[in-house]
Amino acid sequence: MFGWFKCRQPPSRWSLDKPLFAWNRQDDFSIRDACSGVAVFGATGSGKTSGSGRLLATSYLKAGFGFLVLCTKSDERDLWLRYCQETGRGEDVVVFSPENRYRFNALDHECRHGGRGGGLTPNIVNLIEEVLEMANGREKGAGGKGEDAYWLTARKQLLWNAVDLLVLSDDVISIPNVYQVIASAPHSPQQLGSRDWQNSSYCFHRMLVMLHRGQEGQIDERQRFDAAKVAHFFQREHLQLAEKTRSIVDSTFCAAASILDRGVLRELFSTTSNVSPSDVLNGKIVVVDLPVENFGVAGLFAGILWKKSVQLSLLRRAVGPGTRPVSIFADEAQNFITGADASFLSTCRSKLAANVYLSQNINNYIAALGAGDKATAEVESVLGNAGTLIAHANSCQRTGEYMSERIGRERQFLSNFSQSGGANDWYSAMGGEGEQNETAGFSETWEYQLQPSFYGTLRTGGQRHNRMVDAIVYTTGHEFKSSRRNWMTTTLRQAD
């Protein structure tokens, strides 16, 4: 059973050693543990959401963490509203949904934020690429072989120049505007000199504004150099590609980005912003209420745009004694994982990023990233950067083996005994006649401390188990006092 610690520290100070809750009478879970990241596994109905998921969410809320909540299930918004009311955080909730007034232009936010590294085109392009990766069914060509690598490089070059054109012409950075630049770019030298094309082309109009700003001294020397590169790309380099090649490069962006250029996603992410990652860093609880169950791929786009933007903001911020921890919290996290998460999770601990990812099993993550050896390596990297692993009841062999490997093996001794008789017939042997031979001994072996099959025996809560949920908790870097190991068993009570 767990016990709560009351959070009494002022909101301007979060000590890393401050306990958030107790696993038992001897072991607690601190802000330091939270900022090392948590991954939770458990089969459907295992109690992972109502057990450890609820415990982590409400303890972080009590401590005053900022939150980005990514929703898969249709009831998650109401669940989080209830959590916030229970913990006194109801005034901090921002429900980001088509029905509410909040809007967030992720690309323009990334372009215009202040501080070192602010407004860099590579970061904006990488943000777009991460969304396109998901739009293309997560079949990633990055680092691929042959033509795949070429198309990826060519698309990035096209995006880089389109974004630079919008930046240098002081226009709003959004997927629709990037789309317009690419769709209206010249396709031939003849079109470039056509008055009809010039009058109708958004790309041409932005180049005129960029040229005017350079002549008026509204951009600095470095930007003027970039402007010359952009003009050369659209007026020469892109036109020199074979027509088929150029159309493929253009369409790899336009086809994937079209979903963000219309409907609810255009409205939510391509106008002005009245909520942003800065609000999350300052203590707001942003619930991205476009659950995948209802919105499908549009919900995935929304979640990944928000997640990537908050990740970039976390990595940029300066951390001091009064810096607020921030949690990116995702149940059914396989829906929102991308290949870039491994890099973020390997560097974010010093930024007080308290990530919580819940999923049924490891196979969910691997399948979401396209399967294969590369996807497996990325998932292992993501999970390897989680300082705490929590395993609820699960019958997945791969997940059980992974947990057992992380927990480790120990030396065990096995006894053996054998007996044989020398009688030539069964009747004599039954009468005890003949010579009897007995042997006994011990053998040494290294076996899992917990066998993978053990996870299938954990209690799953509900009336059948008196609302008790069992879990195995593994941590990196210290041992639990109660078990004198780096893992332990714990029992959580579901809310009545």
pLDDT at 146 (0 to 100): 37
Distance between CA atoms of residues 431 and 419, nearest Å: 16
Q: Does one domain contain both 424 and 355?
A: no
Q: Does one domain contain both 122 and 240?
A: yes
Distance between CA atoms of residues 386 and 37, nearest Å: 5
Nearest to 306 by CA among 282, 285, 332, 320: 285
| Whether the predicted pLDDT of 450 surpasses 70 | yes
pLDDT at 250 (0 to 100): 84
Orientation of helix 243-257 relative to helix 121-135, angle to 10°: 80
pLDDT at 37 (0 to 100): 93
pLDDT at 13 (0 to 100): 67
Q: Does one domain contain both 434 and 462?
A: no
Number of CB atoms found within 10 A of residue 359's CB: 23
pTM listed for this prediction: 0.84
For the chain, the domain total comes to 3
Number of CB atoms found within 10 A of residue 102's CB: 16
**pLDDT tens across 349-370, in order?**
889 999 999 999 999 999 888 7
Q: Does one domain contain both 463 and 379?
A: yes
Q: Does one domain contain both 55 and 163?
A: no
pLDDT at 36 (0 to 100): 93
pLDDT at 426 (0 to 100): 46
273 part of a folded domain: no
**pLDDT tens across 59-86, in order?**
999 999 999 999 999 999 999 999 999 9
Q: CA torsion sign, 427 to 433 to 435 to 439?
A: positive
**pLDDT tens across 403-439, in order?**
888 887 766 656 665 666 555 554 455 555 555 566 6
pLDDT at 145 (0 to 100): 40
Residue 30 and residue 18 in contact, taking contact as beta carbons nearer than 8 Å: yes
If you average pLDDT over residues 86-104, what whole number do you get?
95
322 part of a folded domain: no
- Phi, then psi, of 122 in degrees rounded to 5: -55, -35
- 92 vs 445, more confident: 92
pLDDT band at 340 (very low <50, low <70, confident <90, very high): confident
CATH number for the domain spanning 489: value is 3.40.50.300
Distance between CA atoms of residues 11 and 460, nearest Å: 36
382 part of a folded domain: yes
Q: How many CA atoms lie within 13 A of 92 on its CB side?
A: 24
Provide the percentage of residues in the chain whose pLDDT is more than 70. 85
pLDDT at 94 (0 to 100): 96
Q: Does one domain contain both 241 and 347?
A: no
Residue span of the structural domain in which 444 resides? 409-448
Q: Does one domain contain both 349 and 370?
A: yes
Distance between CA atoms of residues 473 and 455, nearest Å: 12
202, 206, 211, 214 alpha-carbon torsion, rounded to 10°: 180
Q: Does one domain contain both 396 and 427?
A: no
| Whether the predicted pLDDT of 373 surpasses 80 | yes
**pLDDT tens across 209-244, in order?**
999 999 999 988 989 999 999 999 999 988 888 888
Q: Does one domain contain both 166 and 223?
A: yes
If you average pLDDT over residues 91-107, what whole number do you get?
94
Q: Does one domain contain both 392 and 459?
A: yes
Q: Does one domain contain both 154 and 251?
A: yes
Distance between CA atoms of residues 19 and 27, nearest Å: 10
Q: Does one domain contain both 57 and 170?
A: no
**pLDDT tens across 106-159, in order?**
888 888 776 676 668 888 888 888 777 765 654 443 333 434 677 788 888 999
**pLDDT tens across 10-28, in order?**
444 688 989 999 999 999 9
If you average pLDDT over residues 340-346, what whole number do you get?
85
| Whether the predicted pLDDT of 494 surpasses 80 | yes
pLDDT at 419 (0 to 100): 60
80 part of a folded domain: yes
Helix (H), strand (E), coil (C) string for the chain: CCEECCCCCCCCCCCCCCEEEECCCCCEEEHHHHCCCEEEECCCCCCCHHHHHHHHHHHHHHCCCEEEEECCCCCHHHHHHHHHHHCCCHHHEEEECCCCCCCCCHHHHHHHCCCCCCCCHHHHHHHHHHHHHHHCCCCCCCCCCCHHHHHHHHHHHHHHHHHHHHHHCCCCCCHHHHHHHHHCCCCCHHHHCCHHHHHHCHHHHHHHHHHHHHHCCCCCHHHHHHHHHHHHHHHHHCCCCCHHHHHHHHHHHHHHHHHHHCHHHHHHHCCCCCCCHHHHHCCCEEEECCCHHHHCHHHHHHHHHHHHHHHHHHHHCCCCCCCCCEEEEECCHHHCCCCCHHHHHHHCHHHCECCEEEECCHHHHHHHCCCHHHHHHHHHHHHHCCCEEEECCCCCHHHHHHHHHHHCEEEEEEEEEEEEECCCCHHHHHCCCCCEEEEEEEEEEEEECCCHHHHHHCCECCHHHCCEEEEEEEECCCCECCCCECEEEEEEECCC
pLDDT band at 1 (very low <50, low <70, confident <90, very high): very low
**pLDDT tens across 242-298, in order?**
888 888 888 878 777 777 788 888 899 988 899 999 999 999 999 999 999 999 888
482 part of a folded domain: yes
Q: CA torsion sign, 251 to 257 to 262 to 267?
A: negative
